[in-house]
């Protein structure tokens, strides 16, 4: 290689320098990982070449046999990983090697806690595998030429892992990428054939193209023989092998290869399907969420192969959006090799495969749910995303509902560990509905005045506090023939749980307080839609209720915070006639004091459900006035 022109020195972004320093000096506990990451990158480069070559076979040049070569030089203290994949242009080098984790760097840095053990777990959520080379190297060189570029358009990238890197044009006869690691002092033992072979077999045995090294010989035999290559790995696509021939360790390492995660998956499902459709799938459930999980527009999907030929890295058409956390591979014999995204979207085979793969994932989650401890880990990471399911996948609504977990008054714990099946098993005799309350946080939910009558009668209520919950319940109408009822909406009807005597007493109370209800309607004309006597409260003086079909308070706040316009709607205030404040209000003859007290009750009811006052200053003034009257 001879150096050409256009050499320049470029600096890493400030955040990138911080991240790089953190990775090199703190985060990696297993130094061997660098080989897995660099071999994985080389494998991806080969996959990309295969895909582009479907339309342009000349990209193979005169070298059609794809492989990864690993070599070392004890004297120079270097390791070299060389591939004949797609390679990179100068712009791609700057984009991929000059910007650590690309747009994810800022999010990564914002999540760091200062605890190295915890921070290390974040690494797998970002595309930073190449920089693991600096764990063992104090200098890294990359020589690369894209398959469609001229020989003199190759690129030489060099960095010592500090503030900057250099990049220049060079000549390179073969396409692909060569990474040269100049090992640090003390890391010389990596420049050893047996050590490298054992690392490759341990972490990269599943790679589907040959990883070759020079065959080792000893003594006089070494001097007599010419160098000869040998393949170190099995070089067979793991998903094409029989499940009985694959160890758990191989499954775990393959997951890390396709996901660039550093943690083991929670579970996986490997299946061969034959019949109307012919395909193989290997699906993984990660142990932790990626940093961009809640970005519904982010990259996602399975690796797609057609007859073992790589087609697409993130084929999003095979799973619904609420299962975007699933990683894996699907290899089909029923899709044409010249597929594009548009064709995939219209292909009926894709729809059939999507339906089958979705059920496969839900079955995998159902099986995992049998292990309460493992499922709790899953729910903590992905529960809110799974809650998007009933709105997006009506056909599987019942299966998804079975997998949902909630907090409830049964445990009064913020942990979402109660299933709908458990709730139904505990339902009171005569109870016909599944009751729930939606609030901004757990404390607001468990202390909601709407729960008072349910506590009195020993009826369990689900406590929903996630931002997605109000939207979820708008689509989850029933489960196992039990309908859902928001305890803060509409008129409360406990059905057979209420006795005839209780119902008759309620009617008499309503008639008794007709006059006060009329006075409150006049006082709160601007604030409420209606005033009525409550059957929900036992301890609180008042609560706010929305109409049966109106938007819930939490959903209104969520849309308003996002700048969305929400329809105008006034709440209904329900008053507890047995509360001393309401009794006092009924006896109040001064209309000004009556109006002030009525508005104070309304504002307090709004605060009790986690709402925000439209005029806090007016509330304080009225409250102070009433307090002064007490002491004068």
Exposure on the CB side of residue 88, measured as CA atoms within 13 A: 25
Query: Which band of pLDDT confidence, cut at 50, 70 and 90, is reported for residue 362?
Result: very high
pLDDT at res. 158: 94
Question: Quick one: DSSP state of residue 522?
Answer: H
Instruction: Specify the long-range contacts of residues 290-297, CB closer than 8 Å, at least 24 apart.
Output: 290/125, 290/325, 291/104, 291/107, 291/108, 291/111, 291/122, 291/125, 291/126, 292/104, 292/107, 293/324, 293/325, 293/382, 293/385, 294/384, 294/385, 296/321, 296/324
| Distance (Å, whole) CA 309 – CA 331 | 8
433's CB contacts (< 8 A; 6+ apart) are 482, 483, 484, 485, 495
Share of the chain above pLDDT 90, in %: 51
Domain ranges of the chain: 8-235, 239-368, 514-546+568-631
Token digits of residue 5: 């022109």
122 pLDDT exceeds 80?
Answer: no
Q: What is the pLDDT of residues 522-537, one digit of tens each?
A: 999 999 999 999 888 9
Range with top average pLDDT, 168-172, 488-492, 615-619: 168-172
Q: What is the mean pLDDT of residues 496-518?
A: 86
Q: Which residues pair with 572 in a beta bridge?
A: 530, 545
Q: pLDDT per residue over 377-417, tens digit each?
A: 999 999 999 999 999 999 999 999 999 999 999 999 999 99
Our CA angle for 300, 305, 309, nearest 5°, is: 135
Q: Is the pLDDT of residue 276 over 90?
A: no
Pick 453 or 31 by higher pLDDT.
Answer: 453
Selected residue with higher pLDDT from 345 and 357: 357
Q: Say what the pTM is.
A: 0.75
271: phi then psi, degrees, rounded to nearest 5: -140, 145
Question: 331 pairs with which residues across the strands?
Answer: 280, 305
What per-residue confidence (pLDDT) applies to 415?
94
Q: How far apart are CA 68 and CA 62, in angstroms?
A: 16
Question: What is the pLDDT at residue 467?
Answer: 87
Question: What confidence tier does 497 reach under pLDDT thresholds 50, 70, 90?
Answer: confident
pLDDT at 478: 93
CB contact at 8 A, 81 and 68: yes
What pLDDT, on the 0 to 100 scale, is given for residue 103?
38
DSSP state of 423: H
Give the span between the Cα atoms of 176 and 86, in whole angstroms: 5
Residue 569: count of CB within 10 angstroms of its CB: 11
Is 121's pLDDT higher than 50?
A: no
With cut-offs at 50, 70 and 90, classify the pLDDT of residue 125: very low
Higher pLDDT: 208 or 231? It is: 231
Give the model's confidence band at 70: pLDDT under 50 very low, under 70 low, under 90 confident, else very high: very high
Q: What backbone torsions phi and psi does residue 342 show, to the nearest 5 degrees?
A: -65, -45
pLDDT (average), residues 119-136: 63
Are the beta carbons of 84 and 63 closer than 8 angstroms? yes
Collapse the DSSP code of 404 into the 3-class scheme (helix H, G, I; strand E, B; otherwise coil) and give the result.
coil
Least confident piece of the model among 20-34, 118-132, 183-197, 617-631: 118-132
With tokens 């009617």, the residue in question is: 507
What percent of the chain shows pLDDT beyond 70?
87
- Kindly indicate the confidence band of residue 112, based on its pLDDT and cuts at 50, 70 and 90: low
pLDDT tens by residue, 308-334: 777 787 888 899 999 999 999 999 887
The pLDDT, as a whole number, for residue 24 is: 60
Asked whether the predicted pLDDT for residue 456 surpasses 80, the reply is: yes
Contact assessment for residue 404 and residue 462, using Cβ atoms and an 8 Å cutoff? no
CATH class of residue range 8-235:
alpha beta
**Class at the top of the CATH hierarchy for domain 514-546+568-631:** mainly alpha
Residue 340 in tokens: 């594009």
Q: Confidence band (pLDDT; 50, 70, 90) for 20?
A: low
Average pLDDT rounded to a whole number, residues 549-577: 77
Predicted local distance difference test score (pLDDT) of residue 31: 84
pLDDT tier, 12 (very low <50, low <70, confident <90, very high otherwise): low
Strand partners of residue 418: 406
Residue count (the chain)? 632
Q: What is the number of helices (H) and of strands (E) in the chain?
A: 23, 22
| Domain spanning 239-368, CATH architecture | 2-Layer Sandwich (3.30)
Give the pLDDT band of residue 566 (cuts 50, 70, 90): confident
Q: At 421, list the tokens.
A: 């099946």
Tell me what pLDDT residue 498 has.
Answer: 78
pLDDT at 106 exceeding the cut of 60? no
The band of 156, judged by pLDDT with boundaries at 50, 70 and 90, is very high
| Angle, vertex CA 248, rays to CA 245 and CA 249, nearest 5 | 105
| Banded model confidence at residue 472, pLDDT cuts 50, 70, 90 | very high
For the chain, give the mean pLDDT. Answer: 85
């Amino acid at each position: 290689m001879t150096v050409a022109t256009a050499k320049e020195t470029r600096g890493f972004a400030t955040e990138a320098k911080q991240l790089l320093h953190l990775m090199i000096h703190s985060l990696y506990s297993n130094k061997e990982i660098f080989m897995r990451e660099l071999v994985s990158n080389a494998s991806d480069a080969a996959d990309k070449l295969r895909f582009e070559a479907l339309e342009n076979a000349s990209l193979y040049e005169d070298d059609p046999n794809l492989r990864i070569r690993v070599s070392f030089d004890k004297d120079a203290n270097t390791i070299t990983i060389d591939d004949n994949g797609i390679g990179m242009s100068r712009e791609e080098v700057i984009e991929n090697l000059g910007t650590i984790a690309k747009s994810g760097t800022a999010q990564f840095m914002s999540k760091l806690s200062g605890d190295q053990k915890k921070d290390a777990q974040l690494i797998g959520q970002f595309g930073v595998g190449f920089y693991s080379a600096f764990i063992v190297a104090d200098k890294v060189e990359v020589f690369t030429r894209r398959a469609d570029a001229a020989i003199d358009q190759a690129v030489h990238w060099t960095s010592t892992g500090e503030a900057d890197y250099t990049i220049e044009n060079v000549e390179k006869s073969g396409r692909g990428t060569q990474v040269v690691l100049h090992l640090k002092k003390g890391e010389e033992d990596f420049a050893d054939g047996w050590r490298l072979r054992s690392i490759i077999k341990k972490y990269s045995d599943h790679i589907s193209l040959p990883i070759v090294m020079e065959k080792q010989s000893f003594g006089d035999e070494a001097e007599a023989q010419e160098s000869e290559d040998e393949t170190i790995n099995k070089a067979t696509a793991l998903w094409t092998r029989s499940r009985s021939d694959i160890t758990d360790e191989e499954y775990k390492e393959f997951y890390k290869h396709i996901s660039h995660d550093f943690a083991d998956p929670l579970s996986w499902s490997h299946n061969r399907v034959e019949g109307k459709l012919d395909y193989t799938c290997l699906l993984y459930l990660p142990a932790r969420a990626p940093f961009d999980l809640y970005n519904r527009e982010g990259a996602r999907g399975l690796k797609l192969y057609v007859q073992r030929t790589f087609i697409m890295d993130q084929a999003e058409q095979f799973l619904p959006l609420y299962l975007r956390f699933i990683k894996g591979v699907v290899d089909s014999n029923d899709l044409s090799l010249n597929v594009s995204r548009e064709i995939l979207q219209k292909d009926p085979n894709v729809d059939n495969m999507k339906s089958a793969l979705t059920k496969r994932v839900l079955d995998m989650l159902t099986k995992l749910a049998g292990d309460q401890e493992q499922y709790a880990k899953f729910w903590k990471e992905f529960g809110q995303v799974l809650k998007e399911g009933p709105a997006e996948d009506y056909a599987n609504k019942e299966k998804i509902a079975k997998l949902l977990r909630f907090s409830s008054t049964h445990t009064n714990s913020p942990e979402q560990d109660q299933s709908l099946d458990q709730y139904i098993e505990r339902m009171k005799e005569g109870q016909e509905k599944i009751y729930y309350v939606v609030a901004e946080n757990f404390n607001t939910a468990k202390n909601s005045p709407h729960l008072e009558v349910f506590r009195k009668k020993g009826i369990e209520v689900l406590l929903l506090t996630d931002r997605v919950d109000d939207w979820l319940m708008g689509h989850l109408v029933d489960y196992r023939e039990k309908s859902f009822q928001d305890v803060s909406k509409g008129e409360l009807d406990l059905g057979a749980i209420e006795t005839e005597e209780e119902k008759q007493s309620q009617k008499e109370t309503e008639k008794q307080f007709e006059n006060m209800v009329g006075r409150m309607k006049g006082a709160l004309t601007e604030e409420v839609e209606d005033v009525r006597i409550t059957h929900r409260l036992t301890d609180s003086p008042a609560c706010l209720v929305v109409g049966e079909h109106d938007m819930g308070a939490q959903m209104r706040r969520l849309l308003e915070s996002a700048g969305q316009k929400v329809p105008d709607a006034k709440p209904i205030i329900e008053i507890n006639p047995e509360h001393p404040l309401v009794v006092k209000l009924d006896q109040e003859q001064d209309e000004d004091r009556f109006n002030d007290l009525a508005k104070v009750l309304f504002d307090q009811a709004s605060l009790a459900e986690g709402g925000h006052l439209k005029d806090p200053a007016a509330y304080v003034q009225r409250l102070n006035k009433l307090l002064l009257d007490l002491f004068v």
